[in-house]
Amino acid sequence: MEAIGSLPRFVVREVEAYLRCGILEYGFIRVECEACGFERRVAFSCKRRGFCPSCLGPRGEPRRRSST
């Protein structure tokens, strides 16, 4: 297992992914409401479950549809 300093490489990769999570500059998708034409950019997430609280939380929760 390769390490940087005293941290294993997998820990470094996890933290690096967390720092890019949800930032538009690292990639996004455009979504548009078919009814009204409203358009929004949604940033990609890291999809990591070990460190990122945003990506860790929704994994166990049921998906809900927004009525707005």
* Residues whose CB falls within 8 Å of the CB of residue 62, separated by 6 or more in sequence, listed in order: none
pLDDT, tens digit, for every residue of 24-67?
999 999 999 999 999 999 999 888 877 777 777 655 555 555 55
More confident position, 18 or 59: 18
Residue 68 has pLDDT above 60, yes or no: no
22-30 contacts, C-beta under 8 A, 24 or more apart: 22/54
- pLDDT at residue 47, rounded to an integer: 84
* Residues whose CB falls within 8 Å of the CB of residue 56, separated by 6 or more in sequence, listed in order: 48, 49, 50
Which DSSP symbol is given to 63?
P
13: closest CA among 26, 4, 22?
A: 4
